[in-house]
Chains A and B, each alone.
Chain A
């Protein structure tokens, strides 16, 4: 028989037939265990990612069975590989078209800092164009490291306030990355 562990319930008041907790925590719990990643794989880290989603490492165990190839339905943008300056606007647009709440993970040295490609044509880290939540070091990182980064994202998702994405700070942050919100939104 297969053994499995249930996700621990959030802090709260419980009595027989009743469980009371904060709405944020319930939503966070649900979100963190059903993240739909959008893989943006441009080079060797993408190959490691393929191993991560395959049966041996199985990213699906973390609720990310369904990879989304449309930014509209994705929660997590996984940038894996060298991002050339010509590719930068594409990453930017894909990020911008994701629905809130959204997170970004930079996998590998190239996505995090440009890596060994310290040249005129390579973007020196994707945090110059999109806000990054978690960086995974390595050239390329092993699937275990990618999973570790993914779990860090899960931690962030679990503890995020529902009001965060509506705060003026968040809008100001988008503004800093050149994403102007339409008035009235």
Chain B
């Protein structure tokens, strides 16, 4: 049997939306009216972001070398790779059926990463002191 919906059937949904909106507006009005005129006492240092007692020096948004970021990201990448070795190594003895395939699969996994590592090395991401090659000359 096919169900037929008429517009009136959706009235409760509209009512629900209306009640939700009215509640929010009403609460906002009530809190602003009964809250009174008194405000919190504000001073300049009270509004500071940090609360360790030391005055803020400069701005946190300043440029720094992208190399730090690059090294950190590459570290995370290869670190996660190592995590995958652990369950593989622990369970290796239980792979009685096809140990060679399991070993080959892990070598393939490492191989893919080594290709990436070679790419990074060639790209010069780990050369801390040499400036990056400029794109105009073409690497």
Contacts and interface: CB of A to CB of B under 8 A. Distances in A.
A57 interface: no
Nearest to A98: B46
B44 A180 contact: yes
Interface string A57-92: 000000000000011100000000000000001110
B43 A182 contact: yes
A100 B42 CA distance: 10
B46 A165 contact: no
A185 B40 contact: yes
A18 to B, nearest CB: 23
Nearest to A170: B41
A79 to B, nearest CB: 12
A93 B43 contact: no
A165 B54 contact: no
Contact of A182 (B38, B42, B53, B54): B42
Which of B39, B40, B43, B55: most chain A CB closer than 10 A? B43
Contacts of A180: 43-44
Interface residues of A, number: 23
B53 A90 contact: yes
A51 B39 CA distance: 39
B53 A181 contact: no
A100 B41 contact: yes
Given A96-B46, A97-B46, A71 B51 contact: yes
Contacts of B9: none
A179 B53 contact: no
Contacts of B43: 96, 174, 179-182
Contacts of A93: 45, 48, 53-55
A185 B41 contact: yes
Nearest to A185: B42
A99 B41 CA distance: 8
A165 B41 contact: yes
Nearest to A94: B53
Interface string A87-120: 0011101101101100000000000000000000
Given A96-B46, A97-B46, A72 B41 contact: no
Given A72-B51, A90-B54, A97-B51, A185 B44 contact: no
Given A174-B41, A182-B42, A182-B47, 15 more contacts: A70-B51, A71-B51, A89-B53, A90-B54, A93-B45, A93-B55, A94-B51, A96-B43, A97-B45, A100-B40, A165-B41, A179-B43, A181-B43, A185-B39, A185-B40
Interface of B: 38-48, 51, 53-55
22 contacts: A70-B51, A72-B51, A91-B53, A93-B48, A93-B54, A97-B45, A97-B48, A99-B40, A100-B40, A100-B41, A179-B43, A179-B45, A180-B43, A181-B41, A181-B42, A182-B42, A182-B43, A182-B44, A182-B47, A184-B39, A185-B39, A185-B40
